[in-house]
Structure 1
Amino acid sequence: MSNPFRLLPSLLALVSSPLLLVACQGHRHVSVATNAPASENPSGGATEVQPCTSGQLALAEAGSDAGAGKRALHFTLRNTSLRTCTLKGNVGMRLLDASGRPLASVRVEQREDGVQANAASEPVTLSPGGSAWFLLIYPSATGGLQCHAVASVEVTPPSGGSALRLVRGFDVCGTRVTVTPLQAPPTAP
């Protein structure tokens, strides 16, 4: 399987560029996520699709890449339930050390182009088995930045609830990381 982020190194400096989706289009998703309207209920009327809860979701890493002095980890949230649900905005994220404590020296920013991302993002509707993705972007070990060991990440859906934990060791350099808004996977041409 080819690297889904082969174009990402030159685009990392442009975190929210429209070209970022082009870099991810090579990634094959077996899921269904759309900006679709509410589904029909048996009585004939439309039902409002509820926000996804932690109990409906599974967190996974879907790859990584580096370039332009930055690194990116690609994560997905997959709907493991039998009900359609929606996600909108940014996940909450905490970076944890080997003892399970949050890294106090690193701030997680949830921004896109300097604007609060939750206000700008579109809702993503997840059918059962569908997924949405987001990136964690941080400086690479250049320029003499102090690095911090991350043992795992905790992610909370935009609607709140309990955190989903993924054990994933990596080093974060500097004092800030950025989480991009949730996106629907690219559709096949």
Structure 2
Amino acid sequence: MVALPVLPGEDGEPVLLGPGAAELADELGIDLVGAAEVHGLTGATAEVGVVPVPGGTAANPDLRLVLLVGVGAARAIDLRRAGAALARATRDRDAVATSIPLVHLDADEAVEAFVVGAMLGSLRLPLALHRRRAPAGTTRGARRPDRHRRPGRPRARGRAGRGRLALAPARHRPLEPEEPRLAGRAGP
């Protein structure tokens, strides 16, 4: 798999492809700028277009995909986001070759930003930590039904609860002789 940077075109021109794109396009016999236009790529940061290469190339017969990744203005933050997008698009792949960091003027800063983005983009959270979708017919932030709330138990309040029952169980124990006096001072 090969990933190429896509930069926004200037003054209504089509997108620009980064280093190595012309050589790869000649070897594949594919118009990669045309492929970027077909995918609707504008060069915005983290856009990804997939170009299949069924037969590979003479030099690399195992090449099956070319990814076109938007890098925006090619700032460090743009390269970080492009690295994260590339990592998400290439999960479960053995190898990826790219020239994305070469579009930035400072090579050290570019490689660092790109690698940090790729590392963060490749992380997978356990399924339990993914945000649950709102039930059909509700909007985000709408009140969800209290499926797990027992009658007579108060609703959890505050930012952490957001209307759901608090998960920490209440532990009750008998009050010590000194505690009723202190509890009366605390108020209702």
With normalisation by structure 2, the TM-score equals 0.22
Whose helix fraction is larger, Structure 1's or Structure 2's? 2
* TM-score calculated relative to the size of structure 1: 0.22
More strand by percentage: 1
Question: Which protein shows a greater Rg?
Answer: 2
* Higher relative contact order structure (alpha carbons within 8 Å, sequence separation ≥ 6): 1
